[in-house]
Amino acid sequence: MARHAYVTDLRSLQGECSANYLRLLRLLGDMEAGQHREIALGGASGREFGSLHLHVQEQAPYTTVLNVSQSGPLDGVIEAQRMRVHLYHDARMAEVTHFQRERHFHGRYRYPNSRMHQPDEKLQLNRFLGEWLAHALAHGRSLDLPEMR
């Protein structure tokens, strides 16, 4: 059986990064460097099961660095999900640059590899962020925002 090398799906990656940029703009509003927002996450039943935390770490004319994390009922059992996201305002894209303790992901990886990254690890991380943000927009509740939809 012939093995084919993974080819980076640049169109999907850029599309995901552009969509995440727009989602983050809706969630961040007019937040500035040093500010924090907590969004209570709920499900279809209306019960809350955790919070999404957004912290603007740095802000410059063309780039904003944002820390995104989640807390919930399993905080003492499993490691909390944490990522750093760079928002590139000139390109109107948001990219995951750090996840957990890993940083600077390549567009593709040979598989298998020593860190067990998937061939499309970068795309998967940005899709994960997109799912998180879409859920927060659809079912989230913030104390300082009257309505996020």
DSSP assignment of 22-62, as one string?
A: HHHHHHHTT--TT-EEEEEEE-TTS-EEEEEEEEEEEE-SS
Q: In the prediction, which pLDDT does 67 show?
A: 95
At 96-123, the pLDDT tens digits run 998 876 666 655 556 665 665 565 778 8
Q: In the prediction, which pLDDT does 146 show?
A: 45
Residue 22 placed within a domain: no
Distances (CA, A) of 138 to 10, 39, 42, 146: 27, 11, 9, 14
Domain around 94: 32-140
One-letter identity of residue 67: N
Q: In the prediction, which pLDDT does 108 show?
A: 57
Average pLDDT over residues 16-31: 95
What is the rounded distance in angstroms from the CA atom of residue 127 to the CA atom of residue 94? 11
Residue 145 placed within a domain: no
Four-CA torsion 99, 102, 108, 110, nearest 10 degrees:
-140
Q: In the prediction, which pLDDT does 134 show?
A: 94
At 36-89, the pLDDT tens digits run 999 888 766 667 778 899 999 999 999 999 999 988 766 666 667 789 999 999
Residue 26 placed within a domain: no
Residue 106 placed within a domain: yes
Domain count, the chain: 1
Phi then psi dihedrals of residue 57, to 5 deg: -85, -50
Residue 18 placed within a domain: no
Average pLDDT over residues 123-134: 91
What is the rounded distance in angstroms from the CA atom of residue 129 to the CA atom of residue 33? 21
Residue 17 placed within a domain: no
Distances (CA, A) of 85 to 30, 32, 58, 144: 17, 15, 11, 22
Q: Is residue 19's pLDDT more than 90?
A: yes
Q: Between 8 and 124, name the one with better pLDDT.
A: 124
Residue 3 placed within a domain: no
Q: In the prediction, which pLDDT does 106 show?
A: 59
Residue 54 placed within a domain: yes
